[in-house]
Amino acid sequence: MTSTTGKTIIELDNVCFNRQDKAILKNIQWTINQGQHWSLLGLNGSGKSSIINILTGYNFPSSGQVKVLDQLFGVSSIPDLQKRIGIVSAWINQEIPSHLSVLDTIISGKFASLGLYQKVTDSLIQEAEDLLETFNFAAF
């Protein structure tokens, strides 16, 4: 996309990511503005998951700057920011504790966690049940 209108949602500035002395990402420059839609495409091992893990705060770049929702990584609270970021990916299924029910999994998203470690209110349970109903997942 070439449009630069709208608020900047994601900004990667000269981002590099190394794992065990191997360069996974080199000098990534990427800006996503409000209203834009992007896809990450590439071969296995090309760095797609590494970029997503950096954008969601699960990994930090080896160098460069990351800004998501006007929050600069290294300055802002990542746990607070993670509560504002949603991700859908096949790999996340492996991270969800096997004992967690579908309802509890939905509720855990409210806390930006993979599991419940906080007190859950009745209103939060109702909100999650409403979502299950809305998306026709109540049977699960």
DSSP letter (8 states) at residue 70: T
- H-helix or E-strand containing 26? strand 22-33
The ranges assigned to domains in the chain are 8-82, 96-134
Which two tokens mark 12? 């990667």
pLDDT tens readout for residues 79-135: 888 888 877 667 677 777 888 888 888 888 777 777 777 788 999 999 999 999 998
Q: What is the CATH number of domain 8-82?
A: 3.40.50.300
Query: Band of the pLDDT at 2, cuts 50, 70, 90?
Result: very low
